[in-house]
Amino acid sequence: VEFLYCDLASMKSIRQFVQQFKAKSCPLHVLVNNAGVMLVPERKTEDGFEEHFGLNYLGHFLLTNLLLDKLKQSGTHSHNARIITVSSATHYVGKLHLNDLQSRCSYSPHGAYAQSKLALVLFTYRLQHLLTANGSHVTANVVDPGVVNTDLYKHVFWVIKAVKWMTAWLFFKTSEEGASTSIYAAVSPEMEGAGGCYLYNEERTKSADVAYDEELQRRLWTESCKMVGISDESRRVP
């Protein structure tokens, strides 16, 4: 195990991390996009993005795109490189506000969090479409880890914290249980060559209907490229 620092709330840090990683000339077979914040008060990243959208979504969008060439080089016909992105069941109630992705008009911690998680699902489906169109030996899937007993809930209302403290042993997954579907997506032979899937409890399931909207996927991708400052190579793909 080797540690490299990367702050997903900083575009500069992400670019520095990618530069350091590529300097090692190592293959990249699995990328798990797992960082996140939940229900934080309204605040911005150092790049001026609303924190849920900037960290949960844009950070992973930029990181994945900057590492795509390395993933494509590492994947083979028999062993695809794999991208796993962690979303949440909250995406089912999320709404993508393309005209206000930064939640400037009306900020809601719940709404901003749900939007960021929906964006991750839309991103994954569009990414898989592009990978398939390019004939790349890379797959992209999205995972719902379930309700896991971690520090992610530190910003929830104190009553919910109290209920969580009393019932976590019964209703919440342990960290190990929460990681199981991500691990399944990363290493299971059953997932070899399978992309564009939404996984829960190590099974393929249906995501929110809006996540399958290909026009929304394209528009989000194009806008995301503008926001993080990378070229939109997807324009050449239907």
For residue 60 the two structure tokens come to 């992973």
Residue 149 CB: number of other CB atoms within 10 A?
18
- What is residue 217's three-state secondary structure? helix
Annotation says 113 is catalytic: yes
Helical H segments across the chain, by residue range: 11-23, 51, 59-74, 109-133, 158-171, 175-187, 214-228
Q: Give the C-alpha separation, 22 to 197, whole Å.
A: 28
113 in Cβ contact with 90 (< 8 Å): yes
Q: Are strands 203-205 and 198-200 parallel, antiparallel or unpaired?
A: antiparallel
Q: Which is the catalytic residue, given 113, 125, 153, 184? A: 113
Please list the active-site residues: 113
